[in-house]
Amino acid sequence: MTINLLNYDGKGLVDFCTGIGEKPFRAKQLLRWIHQYSTADFDAMSDLAKGLREKLAVQAVIELPQIITDYVAADGTRKWLLAVGAGNGIETVFIPEANRGTLCVSSQVGCALACTFCSTGKQGFNRNLTVAEIIGQLWIANKTLRSNVSDNTLAHANRAVTNVVMMGMGEPLANFDNVVTALGLMLDDHAYGLSRRRVTVSTSGLVPAIDRLRECCPVALAISLHAPNDALRDQLVPINKKYPIKELLAACQRYLLAAPRDFITFEYVMLAGVNDSIAHARELVALVHDTPCKFNLIPFNSFPGSDFKRSTAETVRVFRDVLMQAGLVTTVRKTRGDDIAAACGQLAGQVKDKTRRTAGVRIEAIQ
């Protein structure tokens, strides 16, 4: 049985190399070839001994998700639909800006958390993605977007992806071990070499997993908040019934002790007539008064079957001003890629729903 090397971080590759009778330093060479140079062909790894390349050809593969579709929006946003087997597909989105390129990465096939305003959550849940399927999204984006450099050994210096956000399909912290291994590759100087400040994990609020992330891999943290009180958040983000706002904010305070940034980002989707009043804004101000944070207000992006409406631009402006007048850093996310259903909350992919939630079966809260 061949082994997919994309599933291994640096330590895993050291163990693999020693297991086939090779020196540990070969792991760093493999990391660079696979991740820095986006090479999937062992024969092209020119500084590896011929004997090692022959072993790799027999015992290992570099197997990536397959590209099903590749769309580019009018604003330059790019979305890939990637096949991950058994009729399932995940979506990955690249958002280009003047001084950065942000890749939005998926962590699960579907999502079991059932947030009511999210298209992914309406698709049901099939399974967690493997490390290879998570890091493969970054590999594919770098390979596709990289400038056309004739010397492949220079290719890593021309990556378009400068930032990664774990905000695609799924709840990253519900696939903890695979996500953390992938994060380690993103941060590894021999792989992608991103700083902790440029890698963000977004969570709906799995409190124990937030604490685990703080201990083993503290990257930037974003919380999908979307409501200023438990009664409303219970409706919008059902996991709140298990981990209410008070517990979530306490976890944020603990996380800040190790975080690469001195604030937590709170994401807040603006839903007309639901969570967008001046009273809601004032309630938010009181809620986070002792939590260093910034707010990212997100205009709701519609999808088939949704009953929610987007707040008006004036409503969003007034809401933002209440937060800013209270001294809270607040931005309004510019909607990107909505003409190809690549905007926040629109990712759906192709999910063979094993939860049957689309048929109305209740999903228990994730432990």
**The token pair that represents 168 in the structure block:** 């695609």
**% of residues, the chain, pLDDT over 90:** 75
Q: Of all helices (H) and strands (E), which one includes residue 18?
A: helix 10-19
What pLDDT score does 51 carry? 95
Q: At what angle do helices 176-187 and 10-19 cross, to 10 degrees?
A: 90
Sequence-separated contacts (24+) of 80-86 with Cβ below 8 Å: 80/137, 80/140, 80/141, 80/144, 81/349, 81/350, 82/133, 82/136, 82/137, 82/140, 84/109, 84/129, 84/133, 86/126, 86/352
Mean pLDDT of 157-173: 86
Q: Sorting pLDDT into bands at 50, 70 and 90, what band is 123?
A: confident
Return the C-alpha torsion angle 253, 118, 348, 243, nearest 10: 40
Q: Of all helices (H) and strands (E), which one includes residue 27?
A: helix 26-31
For 123-132, 151-160, 278-287, 342-351, which range has the lowest pLDDT when averaged over its residues?
Answer: 151-160
What is the C-alpha separation between 64 and 132, in angstroms, rounded? 7
What pLDDT score does 230 carry? 98
Residue tagged active-site, from 91, 133, 171, 267? 91
- Distances in whole angstroms, Cα of residue 137 to Cα of each of 158, 166, 237, 280, 293: 17, 11, 27, 37, 29
What pLDDT score does 341 carry? 56
Q: Please identify which residue in the block is written with the tokens 């759906």.
A: 348
Instruction: Examine the pLDDT at 278 and tell me if it is beyond 90.
Output: yes
329-332 and 3-4 strand pairing: unpaired
Mean pLDDT estimate for the chain: 89
What pLDDT score does 157 carry? 42
What pLDDT score does 353 carry? 67
What pLDDT score does 46 carry? 93
Residue intervals in the chain for CATH 3.20.20.70: 66-359
Of 346 and 87, the structure prediction assigns the larger pLDDT to 87
Residue 340 makes CB contacts below 8 A (sequence gap 6+) with 71, 72, 73, 77, 79
What pLDDT score does 152 carry? 44
Q: Interior CA angle at 215 toward 210 and 220, to 5°?
A: 60
Residue tagged active-site, from 17, 111, 118, 344? 344
What DSSP string runs through 335-348?
P-SGGGT-STT---
Q: Looking at domain 66-359, which CATH architecture does it have?
A: Alpha-Beta Barrel (3.20)
Q: Sorting pLDDT into bands at 50, 70 and 90, what band is 121?
A: confident
Whether 91 is a known active-site residue: answer yes
Instruction: Examine the pLDDT at 161 and tell me if it is beyond 70.
Output: yes
The 10s digit of each residue's pLDDT in 319-336 is 999 999 999 999 998 765
Mean pLDDT of 68-96: 91
Instruction: Examine the pLDDT at 94 and tell me if it is beyond 70.
Output: yes
Q: Sorting pLDDT into bands at 50, 70 and 90, what band is 90?
A: very high
Collapsing DSSP states into helix, strand and coil, what is residue 259? coil
CATH 1.10.150.530 is the classification of domain 3-61? yes
Q: Sorting pLDDT into bands at 50, 70 and 90, what band is 349?
A: low
Instruction: Examine the pLDDT at 151 and tell me if it is beyond 60.
Output: no
The 10s digit of each residue's pLDDT in 214-228 is 999 999 999 999 999
